[in-house]
Chain A
Amino acid sequence: MNFLAHTLEELHEKLVNKELTAVELMESVYANIEETDERVGAFLTLNKEEALAAAREADEQGIDPDNVLSGLPVGIKDNISTKGIRTTAASKILEEFVPVYDATVVEKLKQAGMISVGKLNLDEFAMGGSTENSALKVTRNPWDLSKVPGGSSGGSAAAVAAGQIPVSLGSDTGGSIRQPASFTGLVGMKPTYGRVSRYGLIAFGSSLDQIGPFTRTVKDNALVLNVISGTDDRDGTSYRGDTPDFTEGIEEGVKGLRIGVPKEYFHEDAKETAIVESVRAALELYKEMGAEIVEVSLPHSKYGIPAYYIIASSEASSNLQRFDGIRYGYRSENIGSLEDIYVKSRSEGFGLEVKRRIMLGTFSLSSGFYDAHFKKAAQARTLIRQDFEKTFEDVDVLVAPTTTSTAFEIGGKIDDPLAMYMADVLTVPVNLAGVPSLSIPCGFSEDMPIGMQIIGKHFDEQTIYRTAYAYEKATDHHEKKPSFKGGE
């Protein structure tokens, strides 16, 4: 079974018609992984026996014709807790950690009948934009194996792009779903902050983190978001309002829709001119379909990167204090005192990038720098959020490139942390503002996929999906298949 040719609804129909059993589907997943993952390196852990047992059970109980996701396979980013299945955050400090509970999103997927096939690689603790910061594995881009899949959810993106699985979950703190989706030609959603419960997500930047789906098509994406959204008593920051059906009105088109084009997001002098050209062509198409295109400004965009790196790192330095070598996780063998347990376990267990962020965060929160760093960044965040709110008084959605380059060479940026940070310039303001944003494929630059993000108002994912769906129907970028060229 080649997933690249089928949507979730098509797979569901085959299961309902008994053209295909859940077990056959699951066996084909592991055959796909066996065939391609030695080259791609998306998975850190597979749970084949449990998945096949769950598929057998689904077949025995019969596929629910009203439940489109039942019996379908899904992959989970390895910073999302799965009961009884190793969850590493791609860190040495959690290499042997086995959670005793499921994250809320995993519970919800199970309730919907989806079957988790395994855990996907990421930058350690989701800190990075290339998955090269994984302490456990290198993941490659199926469109060119010498290139990165993006990050931090690089494994989640690579597995779906390679056709190993039809859908995966990732997490997005500063672009970690949208950027890899863009690098691998997929649809990736960063929902509104609070839309999806963070319970069981290994915390990085708690006021920014959101879980969201990677899929090949827009409707598939909405179907999965339907299932993972909702209020959760175990996450006090989860949204108390209602969850709509995100597929509702998806086919209504963009006639009369006001699409804002934030001028700060169009770097006309960028090296890869194809990116801005592709997004401009998409805007032209929207215009032909009856949308109104309005140039807008988000004047504080340039402060997104500094504000983000202070806030995310400060929150991370606090969140990662729990890794103390005592209750769980790596413990150094080089111990003489209690202090040694903390210092040695952390110093041996964390990788370089994680240490860098903890250090930046600790510095930004330390007395003497708190006002100039953390407080100032929080104020900048307010101005960035207000930029979006003001703009959305006039337009329904914003459309812009997701990234300033397509996927880069493995090893190309890893020695220059600052260059890696700057690459997040078009994705971090969305997290700071808490608004939702979806990246969809919108073209190619020298055979590498280009992503376009559609940013919406708080809790208005529906309009985003509607806008994305109209574009997808009118184009065929999502039907192109990766070549698996390059690499060693």
Chain B
Amino acid sequence: MAINEETVKQVAKLAKLEIEEESIHTFTKELDRIVDMVEQLEELDTEGVEGTYHGLPQKNVWREDKVQQGTDREALFKNVKTRKDGYIEVPAMFDNGGSEA
């Protein structure tokens, strides 16, 4: 068993997700099977092999630093749920329990 319910809770916290108590058992079992599967990689000898982290080996793509018309500010607010004085409004951060991060 690669992972247990404690690990799942810890990872969920990092990912800002909540796994419901009644489904955590099944979720853990499934994730454990998946982790087991991906850990097949252990048997592969990768000594001295450089990792590939990009789809295309292309580095330092530059563009000219010139002023361009941005997206209209009002348009950007179109998908915002709550706003106030030109800002996005969110619940109070410090009064009733802030971020634990």
Binding site for B on A (CB under 8 A): 96-98, 100-101, 193-194, 206-208, 233, 236-237, 239-240, 300, 302-303, 305-307, 309-310, 317, 321, 324, 326-329, 331, 335-344, 346-347, 350, 355-356, 358-360, 362-364, 366, 372-373, 375-383, 385, 417-418, 421, 432, 434
Q: How far is the CA of A335 from the CA of B89 in the complex (A)?
A: 13
B84 within 8 A of A: no
Interface of B is mostly: loop
Number of interface residues of B (CB under 8 A): 55
Q: How far is the CA of A366 from the CA of B10 in the complex (A)?
A: 10
Interfacial chain B residues near A339, Cβ < 8 Å: 97-101
B97 & A336 in contact (Cβ 8 Å cutoff): yes
B71 & A100 in contact (Cβ 8 Å cutoff): yes
Tell me how far the C-beta of B32 lies from the nearest C-beta in chain A, rounded to whole angstroms. 10
Neighbour of B16 across the interface among A336, A343, A356, CB < 8 A = A343
A306 & B56 in contact (Cβ 8 Å cutoff): no
Tell me how far the C-beta of A436 lies from the nearest C-beta in chain B, rounded to whole angstroms. 12
Interface contact tally, CB-CB below 8 A: 175
B38 & A382 in contact (Cβ 8 Å cutoff): no
Interfacial chain B residues near A347, Cβ < 8 Å: 17-19
A327 & B17 in contact (Cβ 8 Å cutoff): no
Neighbour of A193 across the interface among B55, B75, B81, B93, CB < 8 A = B55
A363 & B18 in contact (Cβ 8 Å cutoff): no
Interfacial chain B residues near A376, Cβ < 8 Å: 41-42, 44, 46
Binding site for A on B (CB under 8 A): 3, 7-8, 11-12, 14-19, 27, 30-31, 33-35, 37-42, 44, 46, 49-56, 58, 61, 63, 71-72, 75-76, 78-81, 88, 90-93, 96-101
A307 & B41 in contact (Cβ 8 Å cutoff): yes
Residue pairs across A and B with Cβ atoms less than 8 A apart, 13 shown, are A97-B79, A100-B78, A207-B54, A237-B54, A335-B91, A355-B17, A362-B14, A363-B31, A372-B41, A372-B42, A378-B53, A383-B49, A418-B34
A305 & B16 in contact (Cβ 8 Å cutoff): no
Neighbour of A309 across the interface among B7, B37, B58, B88, CB < 8 A = B37
A382 & B100 in contact (Cβ 8 Å cutoff): no
Neighbour of B11 across the interface among A237, A366, A377, CB < 8 A = A366
Neighbour of A233 across the interface among B56, B63, B91, CB < 8 A = B63
